[in-house]
Amino acid sequence: MSMSSTLALTPAVAVVFVLALAAQATAASLDPAYYDGTASFASGDYVLYWKVHATSVEIALDAATTGWVGFGLSEPTSGSMPGSDMVVASVDGSSGVVTVRDMHALGFSTPTEDAACSDWVIVNGYEAGGRTVVELVRAKETGSPQDRPFVEGNMHVVWAFGSSDTLTYHGANRATNQVTFWGESYVRPVGLTTLELRHADFPVPSIKTHYEETLFALPNDRPYHLVEIEPVIVQPKYVHHMVFYFCTGPTLGECWDLVGAWAVGGPSTVTPEVAGFRFGAGTTITHLRIQFHYDNPTNTPGVTDSSGVRIHYTDILREHDAGVLWIGDPAVRLPAIPAGEAAFHYETTCPSECTSRWTQPLNVFTVFLHMHSVGKTIWTTVHRAGERVPEAEDRIEFWDFNHQQLTTVNYTLQPGDEINVHGVFDTTGKSAPVVFGTASDEEMLMSFLSYYPAQTGIWQCGYFPSASDPNNTDWTLCQSDVLDIRQPKVADPPGGEIITFGATPGTCAPLATIPPSRPQTTSSPAASPPPPPSTSTPTSTAAATQGSSSPSGFSSSTGMLIAAGVGGFVIILFLVGGVAAFLKFRSSSSSTAGTNADAKNAVALEAI
């Protein structure tokens, strides 16, 4: 049952709860100095603040709107709206009530309100100067399948805001970004050489989506290790993501060695300290290919862009060369997917007969799972001596072709391992079969594993069709050899396609408490919020003792809570006078508290 701060009694519902809060309160002004980290997006139109405690995280959302504001934690391997855990907040203009809705998204559509548990606690909220500010706190880990945990290191977030009090589309006021709430930041080693590779005033087409391929020549006077690819983004509003490949010549057909990727808000592509991608003298690598994805949803004309990268490399070679292994369908030869299929499944195998050729284990440090536009879910399984190795498996439940990115990992594959790659595809919107190929309107099913130490001849393994067999029995491609092993060699049992995110939890986690270290409330909010910062600030862990759940900033008030029930439920009338009122109603997935009277009500977050 989905519930908000005001509900109508419905005969079909056995028990209905009505929450009414008449509170007279004043809100504290946002204090940026209280927070550990800050990230400013959309030229300051949306600012995120955060403070990390031992078991909880406080956030503040400051947006240039008098409507709703939304924030979410994305699927770690995807970064898109589908699969995101979201919170939507607003401040009502007539009543001064802050409303929070705990939600989750399963697609590019209106998110669903969490059915059982609302885990966000309101700390503060107000509207001033045409901006809405809401401060919240939540446990790092709730254990709910409708939530994503806050974790150490780089995290994918989504944000959006709307101008209406009702369910309206946010338009261009949305994005995906990456934030490190706590954890160590990358420090570039000294002594590296830097080369900037950028577009020269490229005219961005006035269409929603455009892919541009550009090749840049690399130095070849001596051997080098490439150790970092740093994004240089001149038009952050339009550059959506980039993918990087090594090339053995000056044409696109000679560019197949994937060495990195970047998505909106993401960090540099960095190799481990002991390894680097070899190029220069003694190699066949001549160019770096950059695939630019431009996103121009408003079809704005006249935009030029000079984005690109800085590559950081060294002639002091590291201990290991890095390599890339392609698994799945590296030859891009899987049969066409029939039209009209909602969940068409393919499974391929890189068998032990191929991995046994490895001379030593592969230390995998990044993974790039890859499909195209009708891809839905992609995952791998690893079997070692007949047993699953889940720590060496990768998964994207909510694949989005427009949010391709590397995932940093740290696991080892052993000679003799068997690796299956699965893909689920949705062709319900197609009138003709979708063939496999390299074009964007064709399909692919691959996983690119960056590893060290590089091994000669280790670069592809997986499906390959046998045209000579009258039954077209599938063979296996192992480097340059074709093995008489059918695909998949041993199919995984059903169930891998099941998505658990969004399921209703059995129990609710305890609510986070508001730390006593918070600044005390002033008598009234400031005339306007503090100016938004212009850059993202790194954060460090700030442990604090969890304290009382009573929020600061609520003056003497009178509140009334009525719980109405049917069939044995009682009516409770609870009056509180002369004390701070803070009501948490866990059976509802909305939290409500009184704040500054100049406000708007937010009700929903649409597709990001």
Asked whether the beta carbons of 70 and 48 are under 8 A apart, the reply is no
CATH topology of domain 32-185+503-553: Immunoglobulin-like (2.60.40)
pLDDT tens digits for 177-235? 889 999 987 889 999 999 999 999 999 999 988 999 999 999 999 999 999 999 999 99
pLDDT value at position 167? 56
The torsion of the CA quartet 522, 524, 527, 533, rounded to 10 degrees, works out to 40
Q: Do domains 32-185+503-553 and 193-319 have the same CATH topology?
A: no
pLDDT value at position 171? 67
pLDDT value at position 585? 32
For 397, the 3-state DSSP assignment is: coil
537 versus 602: the higher-pLDDT residue is 537
The torsion of the CA quartet 350, 351, 357, 360, rounded to 10 degrees, works out to 70
Domain boundaries, the chain: 32-185+503-553, 193-319, 323-483
The answer, yes or no, to whether residue 556 has pLDDT greater than 60, is: no
* pLDDT mean over 292-303: 92
* 244's tokens: 């990087």
pLDDT tens digits for 479-538? 999 999 999 999 999 999 999 999 999 889 899 998 887 765 443 333 345 555 444 433
Amino acid at 36: D
pLDDT value at position 587? 31
Q: What is the chain's alpha carbon radius of gyration, rounded to the nearest angstrom? A: 26
Quick count: other Cβ atoms within 10 Å of Cβ 156?
Answer: 26
> What whole-number distance in Å separates Cα of residue 303 and Cα of residue 204?
5
Quick count: other Cβ atoms within 10 Å of Cβ 217?
Answer: 12
Asked whether the beta carbons of 432 and 339 are under 8 A apart, the reply is yes
pLDDT tens digits for 226-270? 999 999 999 988 998 899 999 999 999 999 888 998 987 778 999
Please tell me the pTM assigned to this model.
0.78
> What whole-number distance in Å separates Cα of residue 404 and Cα of residue 396?
11
Cα–Cα separations (whole angstroms), residue 364 to 258, 354, 394: 14, 17, 11
Distance of CA 588 to the CA centre of its chain: 27
Q: Within a 13 Å sphere around the CA of 58, how many CA atoms are in the beta-carbon half?
A: 29
Instruction: Please tell me the least confidently modeled range out of 386-395, 505-514, 578-587.
Output: 578-587
The answer, yes or no, to whether residue 577 has pLDDT greater than 70, is: no
**Which CATH code is given to the segment(s) 323-483?**
2.60.120.230
> What whole-number distance in Å separates Cα of residue 209 and Cα of residue 200?
20
pLDDT value at position 301? 96
**Per-residue confidence band for 5, with pLDDT thresholds at 50, 70 and 90:** very low
pLDDT tens digits for 95-110? 888 999 999 999 888 8
Instruction: Please tell me the least confidently modeled range out of 286-295, 461-470, 548-557.
Output: 548-557
**Per-residue confidence band for 541, with pLDDT thresholds at 50, 70 and 90:** very low
pLDDT value at position 48? 98
* pLDDT mean over 120-126: 95
β pairing state of 375-384 and 387-388: antiparallel
The answer, yes or no, to whether residue 576 has pLDDT greater than 80, is: no
Q: Within a 13 Å sphere around the CA of 391, how many CA atoms are in the beta-carbon half?
A: 6
pLDDT tens digits for 151-163? 998 899 999 999 8
Asked whether the beta carbons of 543 and 176 are under 8 A apart, the reply is no
pLDDT value at position 525? 38
> What whole-number distance in Å separates Cα of residue 140 and Cα of residue 149?
6
Closest C-alpha to 156, from 36, 33, 241: 241
* pLDDT mean over 467-472: 64
The rounded mean pLDDT for the chain is 81
CATH class, range 193-319: mainly beta
The answer, yes or no, to whether residue 594 has pLDDT greater than 70, is: no
Asked whether the beta carbons of 437 and 443 are under 8 A apart, the reply is yes
**Per-residue confidence band for 473, with pLDDT thresholds at 50, 70 and 90:** low
pLDDT value at position 520? 56
For the four alpha carbons of 235, 240, 243 and 249, in that order, the dihedral sign comes to: negative
> What whole-number distance in Å separates Cα of residue 231 and Cα of residue 241?
10
Quick count: other Cβ atoms within 10 Å of Cβ 546?
Answer: 16
pLDDT value at position 403? 80
pLDDT value at position 33? 95
